[in-house]
Structures are given as C-alpha cells and as structure tokens.
Structure 1
C-alpha cells in the first residue's frame, strides 16, 4: 500500500503504446507527438522517419529540457548527425531509441522528477 502521494503525479505519463497509437494520460493519439513531462502535448509535424529535418529538432530547443528522448518508430534508426545539430549546439542531451523503448524510458525518468521531452514517431505497420 502506498501511503504518500506521488510528487510527480501531475506529470504527463505514457499509459499505452501499440501499432498506430500512443496513449498519453489515457487519451490515444494516432500521430507523432512532442510531449514535455510537465507541459503541453503537441503534434510533432512529421509523418515518418524519412521526413525528419533539422527544423523538427530545432523546435525542441525552445522547451529547454534537460534531456530529449527520440522514438523513431518500430525500430531504432539514427537521424543524420547534421539534423541533430540544433540539440548539440544548445548542449541538450538526447537519446535515440525505438518508440516503445522511448515510452518506457520516458515514464521512468518522469518518475524520477526529470525534465524530459519525448519526441515520438507513431507508425502503423
């Protein structure tokens, strides 16, 4: 039995993930999202990994996260290094992983009280 309140209970949480959707705070989304642990849930204007551009990463800098998790869909794929320059220049750490692993990692880090930004591609197979 848990006797104390969770200090991070107001944070956004990934509550489900599957083919063609991610569920955030029990609300399903069928498109790519940018999710700040303590902020808004925004549509990430990218439909596929192949469409990624430097501007998609530049918009993450404005959130000022301590870490960015990038979920690249059903498998881990690495963007060209020049696309990640906005994050590197701003000295913001990032991790790239498949979207399911990114969801799990996001929830763990949010539970630790970290200021995390999740950029997640949602794919239908």
Structure 2
C-alpha cells in the first residue's frame, strides 16, 4: 500500500482526545454504556472531577434529587444524555435548574458524551447525566 494512502496514515497516527482541563473523559462506548478510563458504566454521572455509576429514574421522573451530586457544585449547565434518542427532560426539572441559574442541554447520550469531552477540553465547568444507550 502506498505510504500516503489513508490506510497507511491511519496505521501510523493515533488520535487521543486531550483533556487539558483534567477530570474524567468518556473515551468510548461499551455495549450499551460508556467507557471512562478503564471502567465501563451503563449509566453515568460526570462532574469536573469524577465519574460515578448511576441508577437513573425513568426520564419522565428525572428531578433535582436524582441530579443532586451534579448540581451541588453549581455547574454552568448540565448535559442530559437521554439515551439512544433525544427526549425532552421534564419541564419542572428544567425550570428548577434554571431557577438555580444552571442551564440544561438535552441530547442523545452519544452526542452528550462527545459534547462533554469538547466542553471539558475548553475548561467549562459543567456536569452530565448520561442515560444508557439502549434507553
């Protein structure tokens, strides 16, 4: 294969997401969940300094109490990964977080995991709640 071909270049180059801001980064997907460092999580809470396994309620029942560990540090906003597809979080939750001056961004869980890495790379003070990929 010629040395300039895409396959040869791919064999030589490895791209790793750099985490200049520190803290956990989702490095990939494992089954129906997420890989952070060497640990796989089915559902995940992320703060700027830790990743924690999560037993999420049904999305329709998501409330401040379920996100307690995330909002205690007053992040700029919370990414909510709603599973395989985008589902709007409960309006009562959005209103309660906005009353605390915490924004809410909902997207499917894969997109939320990717957004987490980009935003943390920028040093943003955020939090994330990621539902399983089969939810």
TM-score normalised to structure 2 length:
0.74
Structure with the greater relative contact order (CA < 8 A, sep ≥ 6): 1 or 2? 1
- Name structure 1 gaps, 5 residues minimum: 1-5
CA contact (8 A) 1:54 1:85 kept: no
1:81-92 counterparts in 2 under 5 A? 81-92=91-102
Greater gyration radius: 2
1:61-80 counterparts in 2 under 5 A? 61-80=71-90
Question: In the alignment, which residue of structure 1 is the partner of 2:20?
Answer: 8
Decide whether aligned partners of structure 1 residues 88 and 27 sit closer, same or farther in structure 2, where only a CA change above 3 A counts: same
Q: How many residue pairs are counted as aligned between the two chains? A: 119
Q: CA RMSD in A?
A: 2.4
- Name structure 2 gaps, 5 residues minimum: 1-17
CA shift for structure 1 position 61: 2.1
Deviations 1:93-124 (A, max 9, x none): 12100000001111000111111211100143
TM-score normalised to structure 1 length:
0.80
Deviant stretches of 4+, over 4 Å: none
Are positions 1:111 and 2:105 aligned together? no
Decide whether aligned partners of structure 1 residues 107 and 101 sit closer, same or farther in structure 2, where only a CA change above 3 A counts: same
